[in-house]
Chains A and B, each alone.
Chain A
Amino acid sequence: MSNQPYDSSGSIIQRKRGGPPGEGAEKGLITLPGESEREIEDLAGGTYLTTTVDTMVNWARGNSLWPLPFGTACCAIEFMSMVSSHYDIARFGAEVVRFSPRQADLMIVAGTIVDKMSPVLKKIYEQMPEPRYVIAMGACATSGGFYRAYHVVQGIDEVIPVDMWVPGCPPTPDGLMYSILKLKEKIQRGEIRR
């Protein structure tokens, strides 16, 4: 998170001064990505918060990722572990697993992608609405892993763009969770525009 001074010139929300919109609204410290920590009071003299639409939207996107598990192999089992009760990805807002690419914005490629599968992967990626993010989970999706073989794609970046690579064969659920959190930071910083 950067700590640069807040610049309102890019803001399309007018800064308002005056009383709070509701009685009894609490003052608090709110931080949005890309901004320094500010007392709400300092900004608006009340409970207002001003920001840019981009920042707000990125903040919301990062906190509500809808994953599409493109699970092909062993990593998919660890993905299941991550979404189920013990690790519980719901704590980070990414539990709405969608099997339709049209309803998802994060594709988690969990498992080996072979040459026969690569047109399918590409097609499904193209069916996802933008902005879309891709996590390559595990060694096989990242580089083909130890399958240096005649039928295995040597890393899914041959086929589609990737935002996060997770090491491990398979990665632990913690590892995958860490990558989702990192991706969230990346989205909220506005680094990914696709």
Chain B
Amino acid sequence: MSTLTKFSAIPYTGPAPTNREPYVAVDGPAADARGAAIAAALQHPGMTQELGQDMPSFIVGKEHIVDVLRALKESSELAFTMPLDLFGVDYPKRDGRFDIVYQLYSLKNNERIRLKVRVADGEPVPTGTGVFKGLDWYEREVFDMYGVIFDGHPNLRRILTHEAFQGHALRKDYDPAQRWLLTENDVARIIPKIDPRFENVDTDYERVTLNLGPSHPATHGTLRIVVTLDGETIIGADQEIGYLHRCFEKMSETHTYQQVIPYTDRLNYCSAIINNVGYCMAVEKLLGITAPARAQHIRLMLCEFMRIADHLVCIGTNLVDMGALTNFWYLFQPREEIYGLIEACCGARLLPSYTRIGGLAVDVPPDFLEKSQRLVDMMPKFINDVEKLVDRNKIFLDRVVGVAPISAEDAINFGFTGPCLRACGVPYDVRKASPYLGYETYDFDVPIAEGGDTYARFLVRMEEMRQSLKILQQAIDRGLPEGPVIVDNPYVALPPKTKVYNEMESLIYHFKLIMHGIQPPVGETYFQVEGGNGELGFYLVSDGTKNPYRVRCRPPCFQIYSAFPEMIMGQTIPDAIAALGSLNIIAGELDH
């Protein structure tokens, strides 16, 4: 084990997050009122309401947190059944140094709640894994990144960083460039626990432990699964992730708000623009601005194209894993066409970084709508052809129907969102539940399927592409609104170059914005969009300086993948491969 510092980094010296103007949430009063109602309904002594937040928010004593989580989940009236997120925030100068933030969602009332537990360094927090299965990996992540111990956690080991890593990377006093080298000798062996259902089963076979990945054709890059087999049956499974942990959250803290945009591209690189939009809209919410109508319209259209591209690559690679290579070649053709459209807009293909805070980088080409129309016209043929090729194919059906199912209850308990949740019959879609970009004005359906198996996920994705095309057709018919594509606010958007060269004032604004960046008010906010895989949320904490104090990305894959062992238990390796492809785990997003 050795240390390696290739680059010196600048330690955090910014002001404490209290010196600047505070953030006033637009929906603050409503959230406060709702928070008071929730507190009255629960009557729990450990909860203190935090006012002026963008959702009902409470500070909870650490000894009460498990009770509160359970009460919120089990209350038939509130029914906060879904654990959306759990993460830490570090305030080194404060007494209770860490904020452990829980975000829950209620499908019944379509509302969110935020709970914060304040703990000092070294103070343990009781684990919430007994209440929500989905908190398992989140707690491991907080332990890895902040060193907060969760008492009673079944498997509290590092999750994103490697075995030889020293320290906790997201603490403010951790040098962003401090690396620790991992050698082959340090790599720990993983031996999965055998599922209790199979522990005492009589068997004729020898039990074998088999490692898949991280470099394996079916693991799509960087996933690693270790399974214990009894003959062909999987009786134990464990995963290791973090093989693509690129430190998105730490990198965001060392860059300005605008500079974070390219990092967001590389989260879910199959649908990059959705990430751009999600992040930019979170910052816009913090700033209290809205992008112009034209920018919103273009954002919506590109998001839908990206969703189609995301599903195409998911279905294509899933079919490759099952041996149907033709579909993959075939489905890459429309993907190339979508790339062509994005390239015409901004010059980049895969990772465009097209949006800016307050709008878009540049306007679209004049023939944008004609190009989009051409794409919308050609797309159904590809979708229908692939459906015809596989949907009644005996081999395909044998490999997907009833494979790796998950019940709706479990899926919610794990915090599933997106197509994988809708495949269990739960019609939750952020575009309908809390519309943004004007989705409420479009006529589209949220496809759901029964069973929650690999086939259901395939069907949901196919139908979602059709619904996206329906939205796109409506958007094209409405036409692009006239006007600028970025807000006219010199504290947020750079003035146009012609003005910079000709007007003194614009030159100064340009200089100020480049040197001092965007400085949002002090506060925190959360904004969610429907990504290719589910709810993609960005939680921002601003201390009023040009760099974000904390950017938390809620990656939808994370929880979906954490349920994977449960889904494949008792099945075979080929089933596991088919199921893995259908979950569409994108490593960039999974590992941040």
Query: Chain A contacts of B251 at CB under 8 A?
Result: 146-149
A74 touches B221 (CB 8 A): no
B41 at the interface (CB under 8 A from A): no
Min C-beta distance of B379 to chain A, whole Å = 16
B313 touches A74 (CB 8 A): no
Question: C-beta contact mask, A63-81 vs B, less than 8 Å → 1, else 0?
Answer: 0000000111110111011
A16 at the interface (CB under 8 A from B): no
Residue of A nearest to B270 (CB): A77
Contact of A149 among B243, B247, B313 (CB under 8 A): B247
Min C-beta distance of A77 to chain B, whole Å = 6
B250 at the interface (CB under 8 A from A): yes
A114 touches B245 (CB 8 A): yes
Residue of A nearest to B179 (CB): A150
A150-B176, A150-B179 as given contacts; A73 in contact with B329, CB under 8 Å? no
B97 at the interface (CB under 8 A from A): no
A73-B244, A119-B183 as given contacts; A86 in contact with B333, CB under 8 Å? yes
A4 at the interface (CB under 8 A from B): no
Interface of B is mostly: loop
B7 touches A148 (CB 8 A): yes
A73-B266, A77-B350, A85-B332 as given contacts; A117 in contact with B243, CB under 8 Å? yes
Question: C-beta contact mask, B208-219 vs A, less than 8 Å → 1, else 0?
Answer: 000000111100
Q: Give the residues from 118 to 168 in chain A that come closer than 8 angstroms, CB to CB, to chain B.
A: 118-120, 122-124, 140, 146-152, 154
A116 touches B182 (CB 8 A): yes
What is the bound-complex CA distance between A111 and B269, given in angstroms? 11
Residue of B nearest to A115 (CB): B182
A170 touches B350 (CB 8 A): yes
What is the bound-complex CA distance between A19 and B339, given in angstroms? 57
Residue of B nearest to A118 (CB): B182
Query: Chain A contacts of B263 at CB under 8 A?
Result: 146
Query: Chain B contacts of A84 at CB under 8 A?
Result: 328-329, 332
Query: Chain B contacts of A85 at CB under 8 A?
Result: 329-330, 332-333
What is the bound-complex CA distance between A99 and B182, given in angstroms? 24
A112 at the interface (CB under 8 A from B): yes
A114 touches B244 (CB 8 A): yes
B103 at the interface (CB under 8 A from A): no
What is the bound-complex CA distance between A86 and B339, given in angstroms? 12
What is the bound-complex CA distance between A151 and B170, given in angstroms? 12
B247 touches A117 (CB 8 A): no
A85-B329, A111-B221, A116-B162 as given contacts; A152 in contact with B184, CB under 8 Å? no
Min C-beta distance of B176 to chain A, whole Å = 6
B542 at the interface (CB under 8 A from A): no
What is the bound-complex CA distance between A123 and B181, given in angstroms? 15
B244 touches A112 (CB 8 A): yes
Min C-beta distance of A177 to chain B, whole Å = 14
Min C-beta distance of B359 to chain A, whole Å = 23
A172 at the interface (CB under 8 A from B): yes
What is the bound-complex CA distance between A84 and B313, given in angstroms? 12
B174 at the interface (CB under 8 A from A): yes
Min C-beta distance of A57 to chain B, whole Å = 28
What is the bound-complex CA distance between A99 and B220, given in angstroms? 11
Q: Give the residues from 301 to 353 in chain B that come closer than 8 angstroms, CB to CB, to chain A.
A: 313, 328-330, 332-333, 335-336, 339, 349-351
**Known contacts A77-B269, A114-B244, A148-B7, then 7 further A-B pairs from the complex at CB < 8 Å, ordered by chain A residue:** A72-B587, A74-B265, A74-B266, A116-B182, A117-B243, A146-B262, A150-B175
The 8 A-B residue pairs whose C-beta atoms are closest, nearest first, are A149-B247, A74-B269, A99-B217, A84-B332, A116-B162, A119-B184, A86-B336, A85-B329
